[in-house]
A and B are shown apart, each in its own frame.
Chain A
């Protein structure tokens, strides 16, 4: 790149300065118009959600059409169960493959795994739903919590893998060397020194994956399917908070919309708190190492 192509008409300083301030203003404007929808969504959901949030929301079952009130207790418990199943799949696969990528990073396989992790994080969640449908729903011949949890688990993997890898890479190499120099074997060093040092970062990564899974709707549409009743067995259709929000949101009833906003508020609150937590923990990590 030569100076001639960077600076056009070098003699015309006035117009260059005008272009400079116009473009910089446009950048500020871009940031402003990006933040507006966020604040709008955030405050609108909070405003409509908080006013509809009450004890019934957390303790009652959905009421049939026409009856006022009711809550999403079964959907909240259902979401917790689905996420629990997901975590059983997502956490071990995510953390162990993250360890592999970070600690054995010089192999060809780890490059491939890293690449596939990035690609998996971009696979649409609805595709994972179809996969869970084919692998679990069809053989079982019915929608089930198991299929929904399985789909959520797959979606959690890339997030956890990525965070684990990044957090392990933040652990200073000197810590590993010190441990190895004391005669501790490499796998014990990885587990007891490296993983332990990075544990708070990995925990927040897991929380991030859980917050993301909590809001996933598309993969549950034809796996967990939803349910209006109390249901805790894993081989039956199960309610989930985002599914319930979806059904209520596209319904024509005002009372259902109200409850859907309350659900949306709960989700957005969860996302906000978890992201804030991740921010705080990772920032302490960075400042601790620099």
Chain B
């Protein structure tokens, strides 16, 4: 060690500490990434029995018979897709309205408290939505909403048949309530990223407030699309609330009043009590499909959202 050059020694000592610290944080960051990869691999391996037995037919088969050990995921895929798309359909216009209300209409002094209330909606545990769904919302659907729909829109195949209260429609509306805060907060963020000067220019041209807002919304559309896709991903993976109100019956029916089943719900209901290894393996394969779909959807959503908010 060269004692005549203390500066050099300090420099090298500093460097060692920095390198160690950076690499420790890097290690933990890589653990995070590795975890996601590990989840995918683990589920792929654990579903091998079901994958080799049923192949791609698993996705298209409607049979779900633990006794005969014949499994197919179609009714669950159907239930998940219909309930979450319907939830998005209900939630999207409302969410955009909420975002516009919060960013353009409401007075500043009230904005924080109202947006806090809406954000709390996203933080309520899904088990409480489900519980409330069983005891308050499903009875309300049975006594009021569904009779109304079947009286006035009963000519449509979606609103026909026996009224149970629980079922596809009830699950969709609960999901819509749950994803509205997510979509509206992303929409607010992307609206913020649209320069105010654009709106000012619209006003200068004589646009009304709504026309200016509409222009901002059109310019923010890819970000709003991203928020919608994110909400869709949340709805697809939502488990407890859906399990409690969707009716849990593996069937594909036209009517939204009918009970259905979702991918996450069948895992929640049957996994702990699954009888044979093929049953468990099939449930894990459903989980693998769910993981793959939500992974792709979330990646897409993030790319869309980054593309708008980065510009700001």
Return the 10 tightest CB-CB contacts between A and B, nearest first. A215-B125, A30-B97, A124-B237, A187-B21, A96-B28, A122-B298, A100-B25, A97-B29, A218-B239, A20-B208
Q: Which residues of B contact A257 (CB under 8 A)?
A: 135
Distance between B20 CB and nearest chain A CB, rounded to angstroms = 7
Q: Which residues of A contact B129 (CB under 8 A)?
A: 41
Report yes or no: B272 in contact with A221, Cβ–Cβ below 8 A: yes
Quick check: is A175 within 8 A (CB to CB) of the other chain? no
Report yes or no: A109 in contact with B26, Cβ–Cβ below 8 A: yes
Report yes or no: B291 in contact with A123, Cβ–Cβ below 8 A: yes
Number of interface residues of B (CB under 8 A): 100
Report yes or no: A211 in contact with B123, Cβ–Cβ below 8 A: yes
Quick check: is B165 within 8 A (CB to CB) of the other chain? no
Report yes or no: B20 in contact with A187, Cβ–Cβ below 8 A: yes
Q: B22 — nearest CB in chain A belongs to which residue?
A: A104
Report yes or no: A17 in contact with B208, Cβ–Cβ below 8 A: yes
Knowing A7-B207, A186-B18, A279-B116, the reply to whether A113 touches B32 (Cβ < 8 A) is yes
Report yes or no: B264 in contact with A126, Cβ–Cβ below 8 A: yes
Q: Which residues of B contact A96 (CB under 8 A)?
A: 24-25, 27-29
Q: What mask results when residues 26 to 52 of chain B are scored 1 for a CB within 8 Å of chain A, else 0?
A: 111111110110110011001000000
Question: What would be 9 A-B contacts, judged by CB atoms less than 8 Å apart?
Answer: A33-B94, A35-B117, A41-B124, A97-B28, A104-B26, A122-B230, A124-B291, A127-B290, A275-B123
Chain A contact patch, size range: 35 or more
Query: Other CB < 8 Å A-B pairs besides A217-B125, A249-B134, 20 of them?
Result: A7-B211, A30-B97, A30-B101, A101-B29, A109-B26, A113-B33, A116-B32, A119-B295, A119-B299, A122-B237, A123-B36, A124-B239, A124-B290, A126-B237, A130-B284, A130-B287, A185-B17, A225-B272, A261-B131, A271-B120
Q: Which residues between 73 and 128 of chain A lie within 8 Å of chain B, taking CB atoms?
A: 92-93, 96-97, 99-101, 103-104, 109-110, 112-113, 115-120, 122-128
Quick check: is A206 within 8 A (CB to CB) of the other chain? no
Q: Which residues of B contact A268 (CB under 8 A)?
A: 124-125, 128
Q: Which residues of A contact B131 (CB under 8 A)?
A: 245, 249, 260-261, 264
Report yes or no: B287 in contact with A127, Cβ–Cβ below 8 A: yes
Quick check: is B189 within 8 A (CB to CB) of the other chain? no
Q: Which residues of B contact A276 (CB under 8 A)?
A: 116
Q: What mask results when residues 274 to 293 of chain B are scored 1 for a CB within 8 Å of chain A, else 0?
A: 00000000011001001100
Distance between B23 CB and nearest chain A CB, rounded to angstroms = 10
Report yes or no: B271 in contact with A124, Cβ–Cβ below 8 A: no
Distance between A5 CB and nearest chain B CB, rounded to angstroms = 8
Quick check: is A212 within 8 A (CB to CB) of the other chain? yes
Count of chain A to chain B residue pairs whose CB atoms are closer than 8 Å in the complex: 281
Distance between A209 CB and nearest chain B CB, rounded to angstroms = 11
Knowing A41-B128, A116-B32, the reply to whether A275 touches B119 (Cβ < 8 A) is yes
Report yes or no: A31 in contact with B102, Cβ–Cβ below 8 A: yes
Q: Which residues of A contact B209 (CB under 8 A)?
A: 20, 24
Q: Which residues between 160 and 201 of chain B lie within 8 Å of chain A, taking CB atoms?
A: 177, 180-181, 184
Knowing A20-B211, A123-B294, A134-B43, the reply to whether A190 touches B21 (Cβ < 8 A) is yes
Quick check: is B127 within 8 A (CB to CB) of the other chain? yes
Q: Which residues of B contact A7 (CB under 8 A)?
A: 205-207, 211
Quick check: is A140 within 8 A (CB to CB) of the other chain? no
Distance between A213 CB and nearest chain B CB, rounded to angstroms = 10
Report yes or no: A122 in contact with B294, Cβ–Cβ below 8 A: yes
